[in-house]
Amino acid sequence: MKKRKNAESALRLRRDGSLPSLLMACVGASIGSGWLFCPFYAAQMAGPYAIGSWIIGIVAILLLSVVFAELGPLIPKAGAVVHLANVGNGPIVGNLWSWVLFLSYATIAPIEVTAMLTYANNYIPIFLIPHTNVVSTEGFWISVLVLAFFIVLNFMTVLWIFRINSGATLWKIFVPMLTAGVLLVSGFHPGNFRTGLSHVPASFPGMFAAVATSGVIFSLLGFRHAIDLAGESRNPRRDIPLATIGSVLIAGAIYLILQVAFIGAVSPADLAHTGWAHLSFPGINGPFAALAAAVGAAWLSVVLYLDAFISPAGAALIYTATGARVTLATAGTGAFPKILARVNRFGVPWAGLILLYLTGVLVFLPFPSWQKMVGYIASMTVLSYIIGPVALIQLRKAMPTLERPFTLPMAGAVAPAAFVSGSWIIFWSGVATLNFMFGTLFAILCLYALWGIIRREPLRSMGWQYMWWIIPYFLVLWIAAWLGPGKFGGLGIITLPDGMVLVALAGLLIFRWAVRSSVSDDSIRMYMRSLRSSEAGAP
């Protein structure tokens, strides 16, 4: 019996994560391919208003991050967000959100690999189909091998992943700040910040659209890694809130400086001919590298091409690590087969890594451009995280005396505000993205219902009674976007402010509905006790 207990103990996650390593994991995940491309796409969509896009995105993500700063330490287990989705919302909502989370994680490492090849295509032009951003046949096989490299690295203990990532993140902070400094000193044109401001009807909606679809939100989602790695944190009660909030502030400040530098460094002559919407750098896939060459800093272009490997590689490495933990937690809740909860002797969820690899290979097929993919994934991820504000109020109601290492002030106001801000981001993503997201979710729901019919499970045991708020929620978002401005793919029947008011009012009502549709307080308490009483790091 003792030998068996020791063997089981060895096959658990190891608590090797310190506060600096968790903070570096979050910041490192934020500064990946996003900094190489996002300021360019944001400027194309919003011109100088792109600075406002970052401010809006930072505020929205901060609202979500402070919610999870309270929730994360309550479940110090791997893939804590998956467990939070299951706390008070029944099996079907919990499983649906678990699958959404898995998809949002499984696709990011391949996107980062694609970004690496996009930059590399400048001097080895075989990775992309000519005159497109689609991966070529040669690029596909190289991508498959590069992704396999990150998977193999993740078979090491998480301590080594933390060490590799921390070193890479220091470089990833240094290079963007160096780039911003060179551009601000060598080629800054203050007049660029007035170019396009007179076209408010076109640029102002673009500011909001850029939040969701240019990569702004995609680049600020790194905060979640502190929560996903909670099962390997030495002191989750202290470290998760600090790493969660601190990473948003650090990454947000870096991106704001980069956006200002990018807008100021563009040649006014280029804007005179094309304007912001048609800004391009022919023959060069890396916008910052093109700007560096334009201001006479050719040496910086070399550094940027080197960083085009390091920044996406670091993000891909950490997303692979946390994606495996999310898969582990998803298997632990029953949404995935139990085999995916297995870990090796180093405490690594090896089965989840294999599933991530197989899923990632599919992403390398001819999908849309980097910008389109990050728009889809960012909106899908935000959708998965709006369950957090609901879970926060559910737990406050069911377990008011529960010890909370971090207690969110004014949670009654902040939680619904976070829910509405997340809903706005999804609304801003536009009709095409909503069609993709809701089509995917509808297919998952149909498969889940079919599985329940095959197994002859009663409807109540599947938890259908707890999920009815989801249908009107999705409908409101889709209708608001469909009727909204043409910038979002809508019919232009209602204005952007009208659509935001509609989403906010309906969101507040649906938020209350979601909270009231939870499982019983006794069920919430039982679920939380089972999680908190189990050995730390267990699936």
Tell me which of 203 and 481 has the higher pLDDT.
481
Q: Which of 113, 118, 107 is nearest to 40 (CA)?
A: 118
What's the pLDDT score for residue 202? Answer: 55
- Give mean pLDDT, residues 21-41: 86
- Band of the pLDDT at 277, cuts 50, 70, 90? confident
Band (159; pLDDT cuts 50, 70, 90):
low
Whether residue 292 has pLDDT greater than 60: yes
Average pLDDT of the segment spanning 436-448? 82
87 or 43, greater pLDDT = 43
So what's the pLDDT on residue 10?
A: 37
Residue 231 pLDDT grade (very low, low, confident, very high; cuts 50, 70, 90):
low
User: Looking at residue 176, what is its pLDDT?
Assistant: 93
At 16, is the pLDDT very low, low, confident or very high (cuts 50, 70, 90)?
A: low
Mean pLDDT of 256-281: 87
The 10s digit of each residue's pLDDT in 495-512 is 999 999 999 999 999 999
Nearest Cα neighbor of 426 from 387, 457, 380 is 380
pLDDT per position as a tens digit, 426-440: 999 989 889 988 888
Whether 236 and 79 have beta carbons less than 8 Å apart is answered as: no
Measured CA distances, 273 to 47, 270, 276 (Å): 14, 6, 10
- Return the minimum-mean-pLDDT range out of 83-92, 238-247, 385-394, 403-412: 83-92
* Residue written as token pair 């912001």: 276
For the chain, domain boundaries: 8-533
DSSP H or E segment with residue 455: helix 431-455
Q: For 117-131, 151-165, 514-528, which range has the lowest pLDDT when averaged over its residues?
A: 151-165
Of the ranges 17-21, 76-80, 168-172, the best mean pLDDT one: 168-172
Show the tokens assigned to 535.
Answer: 């050995």
> pLDDT value at position 366?
65
Query: Could you tell me which residues come within 8 angstroms of residue 203 by beta carbon, excluding any fewer than 6 positions away?
Result: 46, 47, 48, 49, 196, 197, 276
CA 303 from chain centre, in angstroms, equals 27
Please state, in angstroms and rounded to a whole number, the distance separating the CA atoms of residues 282 and 367. Answer: 22
Cβ within 8 Å of residue 426, ≥6 positions away: 212, 379, 382, 383, 434, 437, 477
What is the rounded distance in angstroms from the CA atom of residue 468 to the CA atom of residue 100? 18
What does the block give as tokens for 523?
Answer: 């069920």
pLDDT reported for residue 535: 45
Q: Residue 57 has what pLDDT?
A: 95
Residue 284 is predicted with a pLDDT of 58
The pLDDT assigned to 102 comes to: 85
Q: What is the per-residue pLDDT for 78?
A: 66
Tell me the CA end-to-end span of the chain in Å, nearest whole number. Answer: 21
Using alpha carbons only, how large is the chain's radius of gyration in Å?
A: 23
Of 427, 384, 507, 418, the closest CA to residue 63 belongs to 418
Closest CA to 435 of 482, 385, 400: 482
195 contacts: CB under 8 Å, gap ≥ 6: 47, 48, 268, 271, 275, 276
Coil/strand/helix, residue 503: helix
- pLDDT (mean) for 49-74: 91
Question: How sure is the predictor about 285, in pLDDT bands with cuts at 50, 70 and 90?
Answer: low
CATH of domain 8-533: 1.20.1740.10
> Half-sphere exposure of 98 toward its Cβ, with a 13 Å CA cutoff?
30
65, 173, 282, 384 from 419: Cα distances, Å: 12, 31, 41, 11
Please report the pLDDT score of residue 115 as a whole number: 83
Helices and strands counted in the chain (H then E) = 25, 0
Rounded CA separation 132/160 (Å): 37
Question: Tell me, what's the pLDDT at 539?
Answer: 40
Nearest of 98, 102, 61, 106 to residue 387 by alpha carbon: 98
Residue 450 pLDDT: 79
pLDDT of residue 1: 44
Question: Which pair of structure tokens corresponds to residue 282?
Answer: 């022919």
Q: What is the rounded average pLDDT of the residues 328-346?
A: 79
User: How far, CA to CA in Å, does 184 sit from each of 52, 86, 179, 304?
Assistant: 19, 48, 9, 16
Contact present, 95 and 536 (Cβ < 8 Å): no
Contact at 8 Å (CB) between 333 and 82? yes
CA–CA distance, 249 with 359 (Å, rounded to integer) = 32
Q: What pLDDT, in 10s, does the model give residues 134-158? A: 778 888 899 999 999 989 888 876 6
Q: What percent of the chain has pLDDT over 70?
A: 88
User: Token digits for 192?
Assistant: 């660029």
Burial of residue 296 (number of CB atoms within 10 Å: 0-12, 13-18, 19+): exposed
Instruction: Give the per-residue pLDDT at 15.
Output: 54
222: pLDDT strictly greater than 80: yes
Residues 444, 449, 450, 451: what is their CA dihedral angle, to the nearest 10 degrees?
90
- As a whole number, the mean pLDDT across the chain is 83
Segment among 123-127, 200-204, 307-311 with least mean pLDDT: 200-204
State the DSSP code for 349: -
Query: Among positive and negative, which fits the CA dihedral 15, 347, 225, 30?
Result: positive
d(CA 204, CA 357): 40
pLDDT of the residue at 6: 40
Write down the pLDDT at residue 404: 83
Instruction: Indicate whether 333 pLDDT > 70.
Output: yes
